[in-house]
Amino acid sequence: MEQHQPIPADEELVRLSLQGDRNSLEQLVKRYNSLIYNLAFKMVMNQEDAADITQGVLIKVITKLAGFRQDSSFKTWVYRVAVNHILNYRKSAAVKRRFTFKQFGDTLDNAPDAEFPAAESYEADKEVLFEETKQTCMSGMLLCLDKKHRMVYLLGELFGVGDKAGSQMMRVTPENFRMMLSRAKRDLYNFMQDKCGLVNTANPCRCAKKTKAFIDAGFVNPRSLRFAGSHLRKIESIAEERQHELDNLLDEEYRKLYLAHSYLEGPDFLRALDELLASDKINRIFNLK
């Protein structure tokens, strides 16, 4: 019978990495590469910026690894590094507030409804394009939140970070973290209740009818899909389990729509890691084998 090797804990990989075990360091990078990328991408909605952020965070994690004091889980520590880096990232305008809900709602209202033309020939199936439109639109809604409330929503509602850890990441009190999360959910879900046909069937907006307009406007590229694909995992597969209080139960249907978004594979950082590990500074830190 085939014997499966136990999956090493993060802390064990950190210990071995600091002893010069390159394989353990690479495992840490692989383990957190996609998580950082997905958090970054949901914040900026730009693949190049998200990849740039991911590389920057991983470099910080590697170079500061010796400073991990195990006063929290390694995952929480990585989140802290990522949150600080993303909120201070200045290359992308999307990290800053880019839309208001009013502006985004007007954009949706002005996008003409159209039955998807059967005669049109796209490289992707129409159902795949509808899903791409849905996730593109919902991700655009996130950009209507200011950057701090957007980050709190992603951490607390999608990635399941609790208020204690979340408050440390955002450098606020747990009470303020809960208040920020409540406000982000209220603003986002009120907009969806008012505009989105997925949660309120009285609303006329339907993903299928907006797909042609999204393609024409360049929001969806049939030749380069970002979200759609049956092979992709969903965010719910990596989200932490949470205990919902009674007053949060009504929000669960909204949350499920976002948890069903694709969990994207992060860019390959291992090539850049080769160059990084060749530096004298890194070799001094890790005494790599």
Q: Give a yes or no: residue 59 inside a domain.
A: yes
Mean pLDDT of the region 234-259: 75
| pLDDT score at 1 | 44
pTM beyond 0.75: the answer is yes
Confirm if 62 and 32 have CB atoms less than 8 A apart.
no
CA distance 54 to 49: 9
Q: Give a yes or no: residue 126 inside a domain.
A: yes
| pLDDT tens string 40-84 | 999 999 999 999 999 999 999 999 998 898 888 999 999 999 999
Mean pLDDT of the region 86-92: 84
| pLDDT score at 119 | 57
Mean pLDDT of the region 257-279: 83
Residues 125 and 204 in one domain: yes
Q: Give a yes or no: residue 5 inside a domain.
A: no
Q: What is the mean pLDDT of the chain?
A: 88
Q: Give a yes or no: residue 4 inside a domain.
A: no
Residues 24 and 111 in one domain: no
Give me the domain span that covers residue 178.
Answer: 97-222+228-263
The neighbour count for residue 165, using CB atoms within 10 Å, is 22
Residues 102 and 145 in one domain: yes
| pLDDT tens string 156-181 | 999 999 999 999 999 999 999 999 99
Residues 199 and 247 in one domain: yes
Residues 132 and 232 in one domain: yes
CA atoms within 13 A on the CB side of 252: 10
Q: Give a yes or no: residue 31 inside a domain.
A: yes
CA distance 166 to 178: 9
Give buried/exposed letters for 174-193 (b at 16+ CB in 10 A, else e): eeebbebbeebbebbbebbe
Residues 28 and 115 in one domain: no
Residues 176 and 288 in one domain: no
Residues 15 and 71 in one domain: yes
Residues 178 and 164 in one domain: yes
- How many domains is the chain partitioned into structurally? 2
Cα 243 to chain centroid, rounded: 21
